[in-house]
């Protein structure tokens, strides 16, 4: 939330973000969340509202092609993916935030005339395929499926592979999954290399997939074989080179 409030996109530092979500003792079990119920209550702002603000009320129809909405949906997926996939115990989501619910919650009280108007969650917004909310909800469900595909996912150590705050790129690994983030708002990278265990990797989730409201810039059907490097052969590491579009994240799985 502090980053959203105080920093422009070009100043986001993946290394700092990674430190925040992994700053705990290995034996210390924690519950991770991108936002809690506090942000959803009247008087505060959810992550999606920080990102899109009032444009949520006017430009959430598919085809509106609003920059703030497109940016907001992209970062909403990336923030939640980073938070969820670095857990060391559990992941918490407050109802409705997974699909970017546009309204706050305000329970009946003297200050609102004991009104029930905002004591609700509008689940129909996520079900309406003419609106963009379902992109975030569908992505959240897919993200959880990938995590659940690894038994006892949260018990595997989070191993940082790479970060470059200048490029705004971050990569880490858990079990046989590699998580790669490009927070750069304008620069896409071709053949960006990461040292990973030797093998072939396939994409299992991409925030930029069109089914999740992305642009589909990368071909996710391609299997990526690592390239050898004599310097790292003794360590059984090779280069995994990928195209990573601006403001996207991808999970690849070692076969």
Q: What digits encode the pLDDT tens for the residues 195-253?
A: 999 999 999 999 999 999 999 999 999 999 999 999 999 989 999 999 999 999 999 99
For the record, the structure tokens of 114 come out as 């004991």
CA angle 26, 27, 29 (to 5 degrees): 95
For the record, the structure tokens of 12 come out as 């986001």
Bigger pLDDT: 203 or 25? 203
Q: What digits encode the pLDDT tens for the residues 84-124?
A: 999 999 999 998 999 999 888 899 999 999 999 989 999 99
For 134-153, the DSSP string reads HHHHHHHHHHHHHHHTSTTG
Any residues with CB less than 8 A from the CB of 13 and at least 6 apart, and which? Answer: 165, 168
Q: What is the pLDDT of residue 104?
A: 85
CATH 2.60.40.1180 in the chain: give the residue spans: 156-254
* Domain 156-254, classified CATH 2.60.40.1180, yes or no: yes
């Amino acid at each position: 939330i502090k980053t959203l409030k105080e920093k422009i996109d070009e100043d986001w530092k993946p290394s700092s973000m990674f430190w925040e979500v992994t700053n705990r003792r290995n034996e210390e079990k924690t519950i991770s969340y991108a936002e809690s119920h506090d942000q959803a209550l009247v008087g505060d702002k959810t992550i999606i509202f920080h990102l899109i603000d009032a444009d949520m009320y006017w430009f959430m129809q598919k085809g509106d092609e609003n920059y703030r909405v497109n940016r907001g949906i992209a970062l909403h997926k990336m923030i939640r993916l980073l938070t969820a996939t670095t857990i060391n115990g559990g992941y918490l989501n407050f109802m409705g935030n997974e699909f970017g619910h546009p309204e706050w919650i305000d329970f009946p009280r003297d200050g609102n005339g004991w009104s029930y108007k905002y004591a609700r969650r509008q689940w129909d917004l996520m079900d309406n395929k003419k609106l963009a909310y379902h992109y975030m909800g569908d992505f959240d469900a897919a993200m959880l499926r990938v995590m659940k595909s690894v038994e006892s996912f949260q018990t595997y150590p989070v191993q940082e592979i790479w970060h470059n705050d200048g490029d705004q790129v971050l990569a880490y690994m858990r079990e046989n999954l590699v998580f790669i983030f490009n927070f750069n708002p304008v620069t896409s990278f071709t053949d960006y290399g990461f040292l990973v265990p030797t093998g072939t990797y396939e994409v299992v989730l991409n925030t930029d997939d069109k089914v999740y409201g992305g642009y589909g810039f990368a071909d996710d059907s391609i299997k990526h074989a690592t390239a050898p490097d004599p310097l790292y052969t003794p360590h059984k590491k090779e280069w995994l080179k990928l195209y990573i579009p601006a403001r996207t994240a991808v999970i690849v799985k070692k076969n």
